[in-house]
Structure 1
Amino acid sequence: MTTRTRPAELLTVRQVLDELGGISRRTFYRWRELRLAPACIRLPNGELRVRRDVLNDWLEDRAEGAAS
């Protein structure tokens, strides 16, 4: 399977919180309200997922010294 045809890895909110150093769920949802969080996908059952590539890009954009 090539990268182009491989489905994107979808992370749960818990996995995203853990990757961000254990921030609270409340903080993550506050960031969503303020449109500061990475883009999420809402599944039919109401749960949220974040694509791995979207999270990586979001983190890269926030790295200190990142070009504006």
Structure 2
Amino acid sequence: MGFDTATTTLLRAILDEVCESISRHETGVRAHVASKILEAATKGEKTPDGLKQIGRAALSEAPTMWR
């Protein structure tokens, strides 16, 4: 399923905001958070607040070996 440009921009901004406290080099954590945000968007979650909440939950559950 593809997203339009506006949705893709929103998802990227949410990922960056949720992951602002971690290094861009921590790709495992960022990939985990991105996959959860993308999964939620694919299932119909479109609100920024809802997506941020899901992203923050994914960040908190990311395995410590990725940090």
Same fold (TM over 0.5): no
User: TM-score band, normalised by the shorter chain?
Assistant: 0.3 to 0.5
TM-score, L = length of structure 1 = 0.34
Higher helix share: 2
Which structure is richer in relative contact order (CA contacts within 8 A, separation 6 or more)? 2
Q: In terms of Rg, which structure is larger?
A: 1
TM-score, L = length of structure 2 = 0.34
Higher strand share: 1
